Amino acid sequence: MRYLPLTQADRASMLETIGAGSVDDLYCDVPEGALLKEPVDLPHHLGEMQVERDMAKLAAKNMGTASAPSFLGAGAYRHHVPATVDYIIQRGEFLTAYTPYQPEIAQGTLQYLFEFQTQVASITNMDVANASMWDGATSCAEAVLMACRATRRKKAVLSGGLHPHYREVTETYCQYSDTQVAGRDGHPEHQATADELDDLIDDQTACVVVQYPDVFGRLDDHTKLAEACHAKGALLVVVFTEAVAFGAIKSPGSFGADIVCGEGQSIGNALGYGGPYVGLFATTSKLVRQMPGRLCGETVDQDGKRGFVLTLSTREQHIRREKATSNICTNSGLCSLAFTVHMSLLGEDGYRKLAAINHERAVKTADALEGVAGVEVVNDSFFNEFTVKLSKPAAEVVEALVARGIMGGVPLSRLYPNRDDLGAFMLVAATETNTDEDIAALAAALKEVLA
Amino acid sequence: MTFQTHTGNRGLVLEEKLIFEQGEAGRSGVDLPDPAPVKSRLGGLARDENSEIGLPGLSEPQVVRHFTRLSQKNFGIDSGFFPLGSCTMKHNPRLNEKVARLPGIADLHPMQPESTVQGALELMDQCAHWLLVLTGMPAVAMSPASGAQGELCGMMAIRAALDARGENRRRVLVPESAHGTNPATAAACGFTVDSIPATADGRVDLAAFEAKLGDDVAGIMLTNPNTCGLFERDVRKIADLVHAAGGYFYCDGANFNAIVGRVRPADLGVDAMHINLHKTFSTPHGGGGPGSGPVVLSEALAAFGPLPYTARTKDGVVHLVEEEQADDFAEEHFGGKLQSFGRMTAFHGQMGMYTRALAYMMSHGADGLKQVAEDAVLNANYMLRSLEDVLDAPFADSGPCMHEALFSDKGMAEGFSTLDIAKGLIDEGYHPMTVYFPLVVHGAMLVEPTETESKAAMDEFIGALRSVAERAKAGDEALKSAPHHAPRRRLDETQAARKPVLVWKEPELPVAAE
Does residue A29 sit at the B interface (CB-CB below 8 Å)? yes
Mean pLDDT is lowest, of A89-98, A329-338, B241-250, for: A329-338
Q: Kindly determine whether residue B497 and residue A311, on different chains, have CB atoms separated by under 8 Å.
A: yes
Q: Return d(Cα A187, Cα A451) in angstroms, integer.
A: 26
Residue B298: the pLDDT is 97
Residues 182 through 211 of chain A touching chain B, CB cutoff 8 Å: none
Task: Compute the mean pLDDT over every residue in chain A, rounded to the nearest whole number.
Answer: 96
> Chain B interface, mutation test: which of A133, A291, A344, most B Cβ atoms within 10 Å?
A344
Query: In a 10 Å sphere around its CB, with 0-12 CB exposed, 13-18 middle and 19+ buried, how is residue B52 labelled?
Result: exposed
Residue B2: the pLDDT is 67
Report the gap between the CA of A116 and the closest CA in chain B (Å): 9
Q: Return d(Cα B367, Cα A36) in angstroms, integer.
A: 12
Q: Is the reported ipTM for this assembly greater than 0.95? A: yes
Q: Kindly determine whether residue A351 and residue B53, on different chains, have CB atoms separated by under 8 Å.
A: yes
Numbered ranges of CATH 3.90.1150.10 in chain A: 65-80+348-450
Confidence of residue A78 (pLDDT cuts 50, 70, 90): very high
Q: Which of B309, B318, B330 is nearest to B114 (CA)?
A: B318
A119 Cβ contact list (under 8 Å, min separation 6): A339, A340, A343, A344, B55
- The ranges assigned to domains in chain B are 11-28+56-73, 96-356, 367-497
Nearest CA in chain B to A127: B503
Angular region, A273: left φ>0, alpha ψ -120 to 50, beta rest: left
Asked if residue A145 lies in contact with residue A177, where contact means CB atoms within 8 angstroms, the answer is yes
CB atoms inside a 10 Å sphere around CB A12: 10
Rounded average pLDDT over A54-77 = 97
Residue A128 C-beta-side C-alpha neighbours within 13 Å: 21
Does residue A127 sit at the B interface (CB-CB below 8 Å)? yes
Asked if residue B401 lies in contact with residue B463, where contact means CB atoms within 8 angstroms, the answer is no
Rounded average pLDDT over A131-151 = 97
B499 Cβ contact list (under 8 Å, min separation 6): none
Angular region, A190: left φ>0, alpha ψ -120 to 50, beta rest: beta
- The top-level CATH class assigned to B96-356 is alpha beta
Report the gap between the CA of B199 and the closest CA in chain A (Å): 16
Nearest CA in chain A to B185: A327
Residue A143: the pLDDT is 98
Residue B321: the pLDDT is 85
Q: Return d(Cα B97, Cα B355) in angstroms, integer.
A: 9
What is the tens place of the pLDDT at every residue in A175-213? 998 899 999 889 999 876 656 788 899 999 999 999 999
Report the gap between the CA of B54 and the closest CA in chain A (Å): 6
Q: Return d(Cα A198, Cα A3) in angstroms, integer.
A: 60
Q: Kindly determine whether residue B133 and residue A407, on different chains, have CB atoms separated by under 8 Å.
A: no
Rounded average pLDDT over A34-47 = 98
Nearest CA in chain A to B56: A347
- The top-level CATH class assigned to B367-497 is alpha beta
In degrees, rounded to 5, the angle at the alpha carbon of residue B357 between the alpha carbons of residues B352 and B358 is 100
Numbered ranges of CATH 3.40.640.10 in chain A: 83-342
Residue A360: the pLDDT is 98
Q: Return d(Cα A350, Cα A199) in angstroms, integer.
A: 41
Report the gap between the CA of B293 and the closest CA in chain A (Å): 10
Residue B272 has φ and ψ, to the nearest 5°, of: -150, 140
- CATH 2.60.40.10: does it fit domain A83-342? no
Residue A193: the pLDDT is 61
Q: Kindly determine whether residue A17 and residue B386, on different chains, have CB atoms separated by under 8 Å.
A: yes
Fold of A65-80+348-450: Aspartate Aminotransferase, domain 1 (3.90.1150)
| pLDDT greater than 80 at residue A68 | yes
What are the chain B neighbours of A294 within 8 Å (beta carbons)?
Answer: 288
Report the gap between the CA of B142 and the closest CA in chain A (Å): 12
Q: Return d(Cα B91, Cα B85) in angstroms, integer.
A: 15
Q: Kindly determine whether residue A297 and residue B264, on different chains, have CB atoms separated by under 8 Å.
A: no
For residue B138, which amino acid is it?
Answer: P
Residue A179: the pLDDT is 92
Residue B301 C-beta-side C-alpha neighbours within 13 Å: 33
Asked if residue B425 lies in contact with residue B485, where contact means CB atoms within 8 angstroms, the answer is no
Does residue A78 sit at the B interface (CB-CB below 8 Å)? yes
For every one of its 514 residues, what pLDDT tens digit does chain B have, with 9 covering 90 and above?
568 899 989 888 899 999 999 988 889 999 999 999 999 999 999 999 888 999 999 999 999 999 999 999 999 999 999 999 999 999 999 999 999 999 999 999 999 999 999 999 999 999 999 999 999 999 999 999 999 999 999 999 999 999 999 999 999 999 998 888 999 999 999 999 999 999 999 999 999 999 999 999 999 999 999 999 999 999 999 999 999 999 999 999 999 999 999 999 999 999 999 999 999 999 999 999 999 999 999 999 999 999 988 888 888 888 888 866 777 777 666 666 778 999 999 999 999 999 999 999 999 999 999 999 999 999 999 999 999 999 999 999 999 999 999 999 999 999 999 999 999 999 999 999 999 999 899 999 999 999 999 999 999 999 999 999 999 999 999 999 999 999 999 999 999 999 999 999 988 877 665 4
Q: Return d(Cα B490, Cα A170) in angstroms, integer.
A: 40
Report the gap between the CA of A309 and the closest CA in chain B (Å): 7
Residues 374 through 413 of chain A touching chain B, CB cutoff 8 Å: 379-383, 398-399, 402, 407, 410
Q: Return d(Cα A344, Cα A354) in angstroms, integer.
A: 13
